[in-house]
């Protein structure tokens, strides 16, 4: 397989022999610069094992950067997926927690940080991220509760 992105060309093959044949064919027709096996691209890390015939993609660095940018998120534990389908019940008269205030203030940044992994490597969170992204212009306490 050949994948392209603007001026980048990726060759994905099951064997070294197939890859070399394709590279030779391309070198005969194009001016190419080879950078070796892909390790990361667009903040997606690639791990290929020819022995196993597997290609693994992950966005761990992006997630770690999100937690580094918003360290208060480390207070949150893991959540189950899929997310609940009904909105959380929120007492509008109660005081908002420091975490809730932070999430309200940084809502756009947090949701934006979740969009990338949801479309690249975490399809299990896509629906939940879609729901919280509908309110980025005016998040409410319910939106914050959904995000937390």
Q: How far is CA 7 from the centre of its chain?
A: 23
DSSP-based three-state secondary structure for 135: coil
For residues 133-146, give the mean pLDDT. 89
The pLDDT > 70 percentage for the chain reads: 98
Distance between CA 128 and CA 124 in Å, rounded? 8
- Structural contact between residues 127 and 85, judged by C-beta atoms closer than 8 angstroms: no
User: What per-residue confidence (pLDDT) applies to 81?
Assistant: 64
User: What per-residue confidence (pLDDT) applies to 105?
Assistant: 93
In this predicted model, what pLDDT tens digit does every residue of 9-61 receive, in sequence order? Answer: 888 777 888 888 988 998 899 888 888 888 888 888 888 887 887 888 888 88
In this predicted model, what pLDDT tens digit does every residue of 50-100 receive, in sequence order? Answer: 788 788 888 888 889 999 999 988 887 777 666 777 778 888 788 888 888
């Amino acid at each position: 397989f050949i994948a392209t992105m603007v001026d980048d060309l990726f060759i994905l093959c099951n064997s070294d022999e197939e890859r070399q044949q394709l590279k030779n064919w391309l070198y005969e027709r194009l001016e190419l610069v080879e950078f070796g096996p892909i390790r990361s691209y667009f903040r997606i890390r690639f791990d290929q094992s020819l022995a196993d015939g597997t290609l693994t993609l992950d966005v761990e660095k992006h997630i770690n950067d999100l937690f580094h940018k918003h360290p208060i998120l480390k207070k949150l534990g893991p959540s189950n997926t899929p997310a609940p389908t009904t909105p959380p019940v929120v007492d509008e008269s109660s005081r908002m927690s420091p975490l809730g205030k932070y999430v309200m203030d940084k809502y756009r940044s947090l949701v934006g940080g979740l969009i990338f992994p949801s479309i690249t490597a975490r399809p299990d969170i896509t629906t939940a991220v879609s729901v919280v992204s509908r309110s980025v212009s005016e998040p409410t306490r319910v939106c914050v509760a959904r995000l937390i």
